[in-house]
Chain A
Amino acid sequence: MRSQTATAEIGVKDTLIKKPRRHGIRFNKKYLMCLLIVSIPLIGFVAFSGFPVILSFISMFCDMKYNKLDTLTWNNFANFQRLFSDATLLQSVKVTLIIASAQFVSLAIAITIAAFLSQNVKGTRVFQTLFFVPYICSTVAIAIMWTQIFGGKGALNALLGTNIQWLDNQNNPYTLTIAIFISIIWQAPGYGIVMYCSAFKAINPSLYEAAALDGANAFQKFRHITLPGITSITLFLVLAGILTGFTTFEAAQIMAPDTWTGVAGPDNAGLTIMYYIYREGVKFGNMGYASVLSWLLFLVLMIPSAYLIRKRILAEN
């Protein structure tokens, strides 16, 4: 809070001049207005995040009819018992981990491309602008695009000379998972590219010159100058990537077909944990179990999320 002392006198100054200060805190009109305004986001948080979270907590331990709260009955941890014998959950955790790892591949792509963009060649600005395009595209439209390309009569089969239903492949269900994976690494790196480009730009070029004079080779330069310059961006992108990757929904929901061996592709190979929560809670009205899954996901994500925000706040001050 660098400018605190210099800041904030404006709000109180005129009132102080007009009236002498009484004992204790004076709740004058100005204070009230400030408090009223700054409490808006907090009220929103309590109402639209707090209550839903509390409700979902309660519903973990209860059965309900048609999601109606007046039908809540204690169910003796039935939702938790189901957790330990749920093969579909195991499968969806596996699928989620595979799909979330696409975020790391995206990161590697981003850092490589940004390194090339940071060479002093003409036209990098145009390249960067074009590389960002997939990132702003709607996941739904992109999933439709990949469904076409991986389809039976699609471009991939034509290219390979095969005739495989990549998204509905009974012989190897995981071609669906790989297809979702590819759609993500196609779309996600744009953001990282922009971030890494500005990180590379921020590194003082005279450091490289000085290192060159000292006889440092390319690897040493990378190790001692580039790497420290991009560590914090990398950490930010890794954590943000975990949060995005673990909550993947759209791509899976659209690309995974309903087949006779699974609700999300053969063998449920496209069933991410978010898709599973959606199916259980919204589609089948089984909110108790969906809440258990949501809380598990929440607890897993709490660690990277808290770390990420803490870092941002510390960086800011």
Chain B
Amino acid sequence: MEEVIKRRKRFKKVKPATVITYVVLSMYLLLLFVPFLVILFTSFMSDAEIVGNGFHLFPKKFSIEGYELIFGVGTDFEDVPNLFLGFFNTLWQTLIPLVGGLFVSALVAFIYSKFKFPGRKALFMITVLTMTFPLGAFGFVSFLFYQNIGWVGGARGILPIIIPGLFGSATVIFFLRTYFDSALSNDVLESAKIDGAGTFRIFFTMVLPLAKPAVIAQFLLGFVGGYNSYGAALMYLYKSESLWNLQLTLSEMVSFVSQEGGGYNNAQCAVAIMGLLPLLVLYIFVQKYFIEGINIGGGKE
């Protein structure tokens, strides 16, 4: 009884702070989502409505003209870049290096974590050291190298985007190794060994399933990175339209649309919405893993 009264008192005392908290959080939410809403509403206006009335928030008359334009319905934009193709290209251009690279990284991390071999410590240190270099600075001048080994021009432009990722990533190896060190018990592995399971069988049937949370976290972060990647496609695939990924398609589509005289703000907003939609849908289903992924992946104390 006393406890209840105490709690009530405390609850009453806290109330103004709670109100302030909700106000601040709601204001921030509003700031984040109003820009979304603005382009969402604009994307459902007709061009005539925008030109005639100037900016207004809510469509006077609901129209899907903007979407028809960017999907090439009708004859206005005949050679408009293909969003579906862009999406498809993004999927395979992201998944091949991501899945391949994760597999290699997990295998390497497993070997470093559970096997003893000459040079193990030194090689691991070198691998970790490679993370130290801020190689992002060389993103654009790498073009020189790829051009000179013949990986630039036409469909070959896909090679610099796919191949380097297949060799695994030091960051992921480092992260997964720590995870294996603590989460994979040696006793279990030992007994599997005694039962006659080979290294690769152990890796596929025991290690990968056990590492699932860590691997999912890395996969999602990598997928978002790949889905949003733009600079590499701009550099290597600009001249091969059939290989454009989604981000390059979006940006080219906006230049295409704005060159078509009128401006077509509805179509430009529709382009942005179509670019955001796939990942937002994915996020609704896996948001839990995203937040967990950041917590286990980044929050190293």
Provided the pairs A129-B287, A191-B294, A305-B134 are in contact, do residues A9 and B116 lie with their beta carbons within 8 angstroms?
A: yes
Measured between beta carbons, the chain A residues less than 8 angstroms from B189 are 10
CA distance A298 to B39 in the complex (A): 37
A285-317 vs B, CB cutoff 8 Å, 1 = contact: the mask equals 001001100110110011011100110110110
B250-280 residues with Cβ-Cβ distance < 8 A to A are 250-251, 254, 263, 265, 268-269, 271-273, 275-276, 279-280
CA distance A41 to B120 in the complex (A): 14
Measured between beta carbons, the chain A residues less than 8 angstroms from B7 are none
Q: Using a Cβ–Cβ cut-off of 8 Å, how many residues does chain A contribute to the interface with B? A: 113
Measured between beta carbons, the chain B residues less than 8 angstroms from A121 are 18, 21-22
> Counting CB contacts under 8 A, is A7 at the interface?
yes
Measured between beta carbons, the chain B residues less than 8 angstroms from A236 are 298, 300
> Counting CB contacts under 8 A, is A133 at the interface?
yes
Some 15 contacts from A to B, beta carbons below 8 A apart, are A41-B167, A42-B130, A49-B135, A112-B24, A113-B24, A132-B290, A134-B32, A141-B276, A186-B32, A274-B140, A278-B231, A282-B140, A282-B143, A312-B300, A315-B300
> Counting CB contacts under 8 A, is B58 at the interface?
no
CA distance A148 to B112 in the complex (A): 50
Measured between beta carbons, the chain B residues less than 8 angstroms from A130 are 29, 32-33
Segment from B48-56, B72-80, B209-217 that makes contact with A: B48-56
CA distance A230 to B221 in the complex (A): 23
**B29 and A37: CB pair below 8 A?**
no
Q: Chain A's nearest CB lies how many Å from the CB of B112?
A: 6
- Identify which of B141, B163, B228 contacts A287 (C-beta below 8 A): B141
Provided the pairs A6-B186, A52-B138, A148-B42 are in contact, do residues A232 and B105 lie with their beta carbons within 8 angstroms?
A: no
**A282 and B132: CB pair below 8 A?**
no
CA distance A13 to B199 in the complex (A): 13
> Counting CB contacts under 8 A, is A119 at the interface?
yes
CA distance A39 to B139 in the complex (A): 23
> Counting CB contacts under 8 A, is B17 at the interface?
yes
Segment from A53-61, A96-104, A170-178 that makes contact with B: A53-61
Main secondary structure of the interface of A (DSSP, over half): helix
> Counting CB contacts under 8 A, is A213 at the interface?
no
CA distance A131 to B235 in the complex (A): 32
**B111 and A38: CB pair below 8 A?**
yes
Q: Chain B's nearest CB lies how many Å from the CB of A37?
A: 5
Main secondary structure of the interface of B (DSSP, over half): helix
CA distance A148 to B272 in the complex (A): 10
> Counting CB contacts under 8 A, is B98 at the interface?
no
> Counting CB contacts under 8 A, is B240 at the interface?
no
Measured between beta carbons, the chain B residues less than 8 angstroms from A30 are 115, 117
B137-175 residues with Cβ-Cβ distance < 8 A to A are 137-148, 163-164, 166-170, 173-174
- Identify which of A52, A149, A232, A301 contacts B35 (C-beta below 8 A): A149
B176-207 vs A, CB cutoff 8 Å, 1 = contact: the mask equals 00100110001001100100000100000000
B234-251 vs A, CB cutoff 8 Å, 1 = contact: the mask equals 110000000000110011
**B114 and A69: CB pair below 8 A?**
no
- Identify which of A10, A47, A137 contacts B276 (C-beta below 8 A): A137
Measured between beta carbons, the chain A residues less than 8 angstroms from B273 are 141
Measured between beta carbons, the chain A residues less than 8 angstroms from B265 are 148, 151, 153
**B231 and A249: CB pair below 8 A?**
yes
- Identify which of A7, A155, A157 contacts B38 (C-beta below 8 A): A155
B112-128 residues with Cβ-Cβ distance < 8 A to A are 112-120, 123-124, 126-128
**B119 and A305: CB pair below 8 A?**
no
Provided the pairs A40-B108, A44-B167 are in contact, do residues A131 and B36 lie with their beta carbons within 8 angstroms?
A: no
**B145 and A51: CB pair below 8 A?**
yes
**A37 and B111: CB pair below 8 A?**
yes
Provided the pairs A144-B272, A305-B132 are in contact, do residues A198 and B295 lie with their beta carbons within 8 angstroms?
A: yes
User: Which of chain A's residues has its CB closest to B113's CB?
Assistant: A7
**B55 and A157: CB pair below 8 A?**
yes
> Counting CB contacts under 8 A, is B102 at the interface?
no
**B141 and A136: CB pair below 8 A?**
no
CA distance A223 to B9 in the complex (A): 28
CA distance A116 to B33 in the complex (A): 19
User: Which of chain B's residues has its CB closest to A146's CB?
Assistant: B35
> Counting CB contacts under 8 A, is A31 at the interface?
yes
Provided the pairs A40-B104, A45-B167, A287-B143 are in contact, do residues A11 and B291 lie with their beta carbons within 8 angstroms?
A: no
**B135 and A34: CB pair below 8 A?**
no
